[in-house]
Structure 1
Amino acid sequence: MLKNLLKKIVLATFGPPVKYVISQMYIYKPVEERFQFLETMLQDAYPDEWVINERSAEEIERIKNIFDLPQDFNTGISKNDLMFRFFIQNNFSFPEAFKAYFVRSVHFLDMISKIAEKKWGKNWQQQAYPFLDFASGYGALERLLVHYLPANQIYTSDIKKKGVDFQVEKFGVNGIYSSFTPEDFKTDVRFKFIFVGSLFSHLPEDLFTRWLKVLHNHLHEDGILAFTVHDTSIINSPEDTVYLTASEDLTSNVVEDAIRKKESYGTMYVNEKYVKNEIAKLGVAANQYYRYEKIFCNLQDIYVVNKQANVFDNSITFNYYDSTKY
């Protein structure tokens, strides 16, 4: 982000000699630390939400028109939202980052609506709640979902309390604080639809098993649980599971609520054999789940688990939304 921009300015100004000096380990570390210090100072000075300038506003309006989005949907993005920072850190301009973020929101809504329609039919908006978005971050989905489901029937939960508070304030949904201990998740609500986007793709085996059990226990009898995973084929591994301690939360030192517990939150890869065995422990039969490959962000698989007999098959046509195409 700003650190990378400062580097580019220095290198462009002083050229190859600076590139060589910075490449030397004895000076690289203090330079890195200085950039981190400057970025932290700037982060403290940021407003709570990213500023939408004129060019960014124009891009947002374009996306609204292209996808026929509600004109009044909330476009505020927290400065701690790692999804937005991901685009900035990958050299998107601010207008491009806003466009990419909201196209990602459209992608999430498309997945949710198609899964819900397959389960409940054209009138899914009258039946797919109470709805729980678990590990919801800062509400990339919620900002659109509240225009399709009643806000008071949408529950958002995350270990990042700032993210939960942000969504409750901005979108009017219900908030549930999560924790690193699955069994501490308490609510009397039984959800018709639980969506877990990119959490199980971060959990080691023990937490994978325990969270799956806790969330499945909070399903309504007519409910569905949809969760995403990285398949081991992505890294060409013959193992059933591969857990790495790296995660995107560890790449930024300025996000106020980044997750630092490597033993609890890293990057997880699993194959279908492993997932099938895990959900079988919950009493889920082979005909009560369906796997959609590389649907979530064109990378992660989505598993949809039914408490009743499975209605899911390959008839759903999901779309992948590449913001650079718009």
Structure 2
Amino acid sequence: MTAISDGGLSRGAQLLEEGRALLARGDRTGAAQVLVRARDERDVVLDAHALIEAHDLVGSFRNVMGLDCTISAQDDIFGFFQNHHSCRNPLRDYLADGWRTLSELMLLLEAVDQPLLRTPRVLEFASGHGRFTRHLVKAVGAERVAVSDVVPGAVEFARATFGVDGFQSASVPEAVRWPGQYDLVFVLSLFSHLPRATWARWLQALYGAVAPGGLLVFSTHGLKAARFDNVVLDDEGFFFAASSESQAIDVQEYGTTFTSPGFVRACIAGTVGADRLVHEAPVHFWNHQDAYVLRKGAA
């Protein structure tokens, strides 16, 4: 519960005002000490974080991680971390989770002999507000990265903050206007949210965005995730619930989905061909989501 002072300001708001005043006076040391305390207050955590990062104060995550650690106030994934019962430091956990995703992606690509650092052009699809994008940019450079998302403002935030290319996605795959093709299309935790009506259609559309010889990498909630959440799959190996952590997308088009490996393989076979699947990695991402790698044939 946020404490409120006699003046009507919460403890966090008071610390934030004090930190801003110290910055205005040029007292960076004092401001850092106060703003680090403000950053622990739930109601001003992102405001305090933004000031620390923007002024490169002692305690900034940029100094530790060597990348842009700006976080959008509209970032649903940060909100998920902040509201999760197990999370004691949402800023650290959010930023570290993106780094973990990068390491897991790099291991996956090594398994199919297409290292990330030698991949000329990468599309991160369903990229959100950059939880992973910032780490991808550090690894390969902004000039090699494009992002896409359906959430209003997400692509604009990534362009302005990380310097990447980007384009707006759409609610249905047929409405997306693809600027080109990419050597790697990475789709983390989109197929774990799609209803049956668009699941295979998105697979077809995203495969179409892969350049000849390139890869499509995507993740799903598989059997381990279904057991953990006590979900019973139907006869085809599918389950969808109209609920998710997103506050910006209709739950009927972006809920929570669980799929068996058999369902995924059948969709691959029925859309792009079974021979396009070159690698499977159960519970690969976050020790929770299965990973699939498809390779498009050379032109």
Q: Is the 8 A contact 2:122 2:185 kept in 1?
A: yes
Instruction: Give the equivalent residue in structure 1 for 2:200.
Output: 209
The 1-side partners of 2:255 and 2:112 are apart by 32
Give the total of aligned pairs.
249
Instruction: Give the equivalent residue in structure 2 for 1:74.
Output: 68
Instruction: Give the equivalent residue in structure 1 for 2:239.
Output: 242
Instruction: Give the equivalent residue in structure 1 for 2:117.
Output: 125
The 1-side partners of 2:74 and 2:93 are apart by 17
Instruction: Kindly provide the amino acid, as one letter, of the partner of residue 264 in structure 2.
Output: V
**Is the aligned partner of 1:266 residue 2:261?**
no
Q: Deviations over 1:75-114 (max 9, x none)?
A: 1001111121122212545xx1111011101111112222
Q: Is the 8 A contact 2:233 2:258 kept in 1?
A: no
Q: 188, 202, 205: which one pairs with 1:197? A: 188
Change (3 A) 1:61 1:283: closer
Match of 2:184, SS state, is strand
Change (3 A) 1:282 1:236: same
Q: Is the 8 A contact 2:112 2:278 kept in 1?
A: no
**Is the aligned partner of 1:155 residue 2:152?**
no
Match of 2:59, SS state, is helix
Instruction: Using the TM superposition, give the Cα deviation of residue 296 of structure 1 relative to its aligned residue in structure 2, in angstroms.
Output: 1.4
Instruction: Kindly provide the amino acid, as one letter, of the partner of residue 248 in structure 1.
Output: E
Instruction: Using the TM superposition, give the Cα deviation of residue 6 of structure 1 relative to its aligned residue in structure 2, in angstroms.
Output: 5.2
Instruction: Using the TM superposition, give the Cα deviation of residue 179 of structure 1 relative to its aligned residue in structure 2, in angstroms.
Output: 0.9
**Is the aligned partner of 1:112 residue 2:105?**
yes
Change (3 A) 1:294 1:210: same
Q: 121, 142, 145: which one pairs with 2:136? A: 145
Instruction: Using the TM superposition, give the Cα deviation of residue 287 of structure 1 relative to its aligned residue in structure 2, in angstroms.
Output: 6.7
Q: 183, 195, 219: which one pairs with 2:174? A: 183
Change (3 A) 1:221 1:46: same
Q: Is the 8 A contact 1:288 1:308 kept in 2?
A: no
Q: Is the 8 A contact 2:233 2:259 kept in 1?
A: no
Change (3 A) 1:289 1:171: same
Q: TM-score, normalised by structure 2?
A: 0.75
Match of 2:139, SS state, is coil
**Is the aligned partner of 1:290 residue 2:279?**
yes
Instruction: Kindly provide the amino acid, as one letter, of the partner of residue 262 in structure 1.
Output: V
Instruction: Kindly provide the amino acid, as one letter, of the partner of residue 110 in structure 1.
Output: S
Q: TM-score, normalised by structure 1?
A: 0.69
Match of 1:226, SS state, is strand
The 1-side partners of 2:58 and 2:152 are apart by 28
Q: Is the 8 A contact 2:233 2:239 kept in 1?
A: no
The 1-side partners of 2:73 and 2:275 are apart by 43
- Structure 1 stretches of 4+ moved >4 Å: none
**Is the aligned partner of 1:230 residue 2:221?**
yes
The 1-side partners of 2:231 and 2:78 are apart by 29
For structure 1, the residue ranges without an aligned partner over 5 or more in a row are: 8-42, 251-257, 310-326
Instruction: Using the TM superposition, give the Cα deviation of residue 129 of structure 1 relative to its aligned residue in structure 2, in angstroms.
Output: 2.8
Instruction: Kindly provide the amino acid, as one letter, of the partner of residue 134 in structure 1.
Output: F
For structure 2, the residue ranges without an aligned partner over 5 or more in a row are: 4-41
Q: Deviations over 1:120-139 (max 9, x none)?
A: 456x423x131010000111
Instruction: Kindly provide the amino acid, as one letter, of the partner of residue 279 in structure 1.
Output: I
What percentage of residue pairs aligned between the two structures are identical? 27
Q: Is the 8 A contact 1:227 1:303 kept in 2?
A: yes
The 2-side partners of 1:61 and 1:145 are apart by 15
Instruction: Give the equivalent residue in structure 1 for 2:92.
Output: 99
Q: Is the 8 A contact 1:232 1:242 kept in 2?
A: no
Q: Is the 8 A contact 1:196 1:228 kept in 2?
A: yes
Instruction: Using the TM superposition, give the Cα deviation of residue 186 of structure 1 relative to its aligned residue in structure 2, in angstroms.
Output: 1.5
Q: Is the 8 A contact 1:292 1:302 kept in 2?
A: yes
Change (3 A) 1:102 1:285: same
Instruction: Using the TM superposition, give the Cα deviation of residue 288 of structure 1 relative to its aligned residue in structure 2, in angstroms.
Output: 2.7
The 2-side partners of 1:138 and 1:125 are apart by 23
The 2-side partners of 1:203 and 1:242 are apart by 10
Cα-Cα RMSD: 2.8
Higher RCO (C-alpha 8 Å, min separation 6): 1
Q: Is the 8 A contact 1:227 1:304 kept in 2?
A: yes
